[in-house]
Amino acid sequence: MNRLSLLFGLFFTLGLSAQTFKCGTLSPEARERLKRDMEFLASDDLQGRLPGTEGANEAVACIIRNFQEAGLRPFFPGGFTQQFSAPRPAHLPKQGNWIRIQDDSLFVNSGTTAAPAFVLLPYSQSSALEGSSVYIHAGIQGVHYQGTSLLGQIVTMDWELSPKDQKKYSGQTSLSSRIQNAKQAGAKAIILLDRKNKKGITQMMLRRQRDLGIPVALVSGKRWVRKLRRAQKDVGLQITIQERGAEAYNVAGFLDLGQPTTIVIGAHYDHVGLGKWGSRNPDAEGQVHNGADDNASGTAVLMELAREVSLYPEVQGRNILFVAFSAEEDGLLGSKYFVENCPVPVHDFAYMLNIDMVGRLNRADSLMIYATGSAAEWASVLRDMPCDQFGIENIPALFPRSDHAPFVRAGIPAIMLHTGLHEDYHGPTDDLDKIDMDGLVKVTEAALEILERAQKHPRLTFIDIAQRSERVQ
């Protein structure tokens, strides 16, 4: 029976992966509008659309203007925008951040720019303390400090585990769990040790604050690591984190078609700015990261869909809410804030369609659709969609790193359209010249086809794939 089930599941998955979409619906004018929007959103003038910057605010104005021209009305009580705070890099005053062993002190930002010797982690809490230290190797509870009291100690532990320990203690090796376990055992501060002084361990680790209620720092370099791997009687530590935030804005426009139910179509418009916080290339700081694919492409498709839906009665079976999210790159902050602070009950939404990185269809030859396991009906919605120009890759798994995920976690069926990751992802080379403009037209057409097919189902039956995905991770 198990073998039969496995074979049936494999056959079903392969059958879905061969499906194709309808093409040729949109006018040549639609392609020109998509091109125009891409040229603006992915231009150097917008400086990578980092939340809180002038470039991001110019993108907001562009989205509002397009929503108004499409006949959408403001969704939020105060208008088209919903403001929230996105964390920005904390300020770390040098004289307020140091570690001392007897008469020898190490200050924040010492060392080289590429390999600083003293770094604060996003787990850290501001604090000033004195005391003794104890070294617990990699900090695996019950292995490296079994029988060793950590109560009231400044605990030092190796930042990285050996490959042998990673394999042997799988499930106990995450940095946050090792910190939490030491804290629960009585540690009053954690100092992580990085003997190799690896390039890339920079202050970008402070991009997001995740306070675990204990001071945490990382010290690099042979001399200091050698000292801190020995028990010390006289250690001082001061951490002063001055947190800062940026004003970020979700933008939402409502198309009221007089229907009893509403769907959400979303895309994030933010990117990583000049690369200091979020670039995959540590040497690219200061360069404009235009994010043409990530996610000017999805935002352009979102705005074109807002224009197109009024032209096609066959897709007007539900009201449509168009949302451009900010701070996706900061950890889905915009979509999470929207779900938690929506002006209407989010459970009233029929489903959510997320459009993220859809500008490279010519490379993929298929449109990936994630989280199709979030509703029982998605398989029939996507089955046998007619077009011989490209295929569909049906992926039931959640893909938790994009803006449909908070909707799924809130109990709303949601899927994500995507044309794949690539070598330009979060780099300064994700530029307009690599975008498949004809592919953007096809993705827009595919979205319209999905809207038409989904409305034939009065209700989508939600399936909770979020917990399943998180257990696998």
Q: How many CB atoms lie within 10 A of CB 36?
A: 11
Residue 174: per-residue pLDDT:
83
User: Looking at the predicted structure, is the pLDDT value of residue 125 above 90?
Assistant: no
Tell which CATH architecture fits domain 93-240: 3-Layer(bba) Sandwich (3.50)
pLDDT of residue 285: 86
Q: Are 227 and 101 in contact (CB under 8 A)?
A: yes
In terms of average pLDDT, the best of 5-14, 90-99, 313-322 is 313-322
Q: Would you state the pLDDT for residue 468? A: 58
H or E stretch covering 40: helix 28-41
Q: Which two tokens stand for residue 393?
A: 């890759």
Would you state the pLDDT for residue 472?
A: 38
Closest by alpha carbon to 370, among 391, 396, 390, 352? 396
354 and 415 in contact (C-beta within 8 Å)? Answer: yes
207 — pLDDT class (breaks 50, 70, 90): very low
> Contact, 189 vs 155, CB < 8 A?
yes
Q: What is the pLDDT of residues 247-263, one digit of tens each?
A: 999 999 999 999 999 99
Dihedral of alpha carbons 21, 26, 30, 35, sign: positive
* pLDDT tier at 5, thresholds 50, 70, 90: very low
Domain limits, CATH 3.40.630.10, in the chain: 14-88+246-472
Q: Answer yes or no: is pLDDT of 121 > 80.
A: no
Model confidence band, residue 471 (pLDDT cutoffs 50, 70, 90): very low
Share of the chain above pLDDT 90, in %: 64
Rounded-to-10 torsion of CA 61, 67, 70, 76? -140
pLDDT value for 161: 87
Burial label, 321 (beta-carbon count in 10 A; 0-12, 13-18, 19+): buried
CATH topology of domain 14-88+246-472: Aminopeptidase (3.40.630)
**Residue 276 pLDDT:** 80
What residue ranges of the chain are covered by domains with CATH 3.50.30.30? 93-240
For residues 172-182, give the mean pLDDT: 86
Q: Would you say 350 and 273 are in contact if contact means Cβ atoms under 8 Å apart?
A: no
